[in-house]
Amino acid sequence: MGRKKDKETDSIKITNQEGIALATDPQPFDDGLAQLQAASDHLFDLAQHGSCQITAYHRDQVAFSVKIELPIEGKIEDLITDLISQRQEVTSPPATDVPVANETKPDSASEPASEPVFTDSLAADTTPKRTSNQSRRTTAKKPKQNAIKLPSISLPRVSRSFLKHLITIAALLIIAGGFLFGTKLVVDAYNAPPSYTSLIKKGDYLQAGKLYPNRRDDVRKTLTDQSDVKQLAKFQRVYPKAETLFDLAYLQHDYSKVIVMSNRVALSQERQIKLAIAYVHTKQFDAAVLINEQLKSKTLSEVIALGYVRQKDFDKAQKINDKLKDSTISQAIEVGKKYAAGIDAFNKIASDPEQPADKRQQAKQTVKTFEHALSTLGESNNSNS
């Protein structure tokens, strides 16, 4: 029994779409099948799956409604023909000699009956493979297809008490694992070495050098900046380094050793200043001037100028102060000249045989006082000198 001849009254509606996107309003039967065929072919090319509900109408009456799985390996039209034939086997009475609709006489007044309505109750047989091109209007009966039964899987039943025991054991394992993990964190924190900063704050410099060998120079600089001779000497005995010997010699005012060690260390700007000061204290002022030509340090220039004053080399001191224009240096030069004049005057008295012995002795004492005053001139104004 296929579709009726008056195709203009046939329509199809495609709903409950999954994996496709077609119009859901009723549309001409052939147009709907053509769109569904294109959607099926597209899913087949993409190796994807989809499904939809097909509801066919004849003269505004539902002819059948069925859900199909996509893609179909063949033509949608052949599948619909197969579905119609299968429903006919279920709904049609045994064949008689009554002529089919195509053989009715033109003058027959009776209208052919509408096709029977089918629903999803038979949807299990709606996904057959494509068949060869057959006419949609064939009335040949086909053997009924048997539904494929999938093997059932039965799982063992678990008693509620056993499930409770299992949950309790799992909870205990989680708690024990958390306890062990927390204990490990506490132990790791307890066993973790103290930080570098905490060791320096505690004054444990040797331990800081042991645990943090890459920061030993930081320890040395800290102790040098603090002028901590005792701790720096201890650190030097355990972790010896030439630069530390240089710094220790300077802190201990062993300026001759500073000059000797200068040939064995990398002279940073800070150590060049220390070396220049060592030259001043050993009365090697010209060497200090050479170093300061590169450093161009005003403070070092003041120290060198005072050194010249203490040596009574007032012209060189004045030459430096011509650039500095420092009032303190100017005053030191004037005071230095007076001390120098006094030293000369009292030296003459002390060496004059015509002077009384007590006066000569007093003059000698005055010379020593002036010489000391001159040699320490300006030290209160400059801690580096």
State residue 81's pLDDT score: 76
Please tell me which residue, 348 or 136, carries the higher pLDDT value.
Answer: 348
Average pLDDT, the chain: 81
pLDDT in tens, 238-288: 999 999 999 999 999 999 999 999 999 999 999 999 999 999 999 999 999
Is the pLDDT at 185 greater than 50? The verdict is: yes
Is the pLDDT at 132 greater than 60? The verdict is: no
Beta pairing partners, 11? 28, 57
Domain with CATH 1.25.40 in the chain: 227-375
Q: How far apart are CA 168 and CA 171, in angstroms?
A: 5
pLDDT average, residue stretch 69-98: 68
The answer as to CATH 1.20.1740 being correct for domain 227-375 is no
Please tell me the pTM assigned to this model. Answer: 0.48
Most confident of 97-101, 149-153, 229-233: 229-233
Tell the residue number behind the tokens 């704050």, with chain if given: 201
Could you give phi then psi for residue 99, rounded to 5 degrees? Answer: -65, 150
Give the burial class of 233: count Cβ atoms within 10 A of its Cβ; 0-12 exposed, 13-18 middle, 19 or more buried: middle
State residue 74's pLDDT score: 77
pLDDT in tens, 209-236: 999 999 999 999 999 999 999 999 999 9
State residue 184's pLDDT score: 63
End-to-end CA distance of the chain, in Å?
Answer: 124
Strand order from edge to edge, sheet including 50-58? 27-28, 10-18, 50-58, 61-70
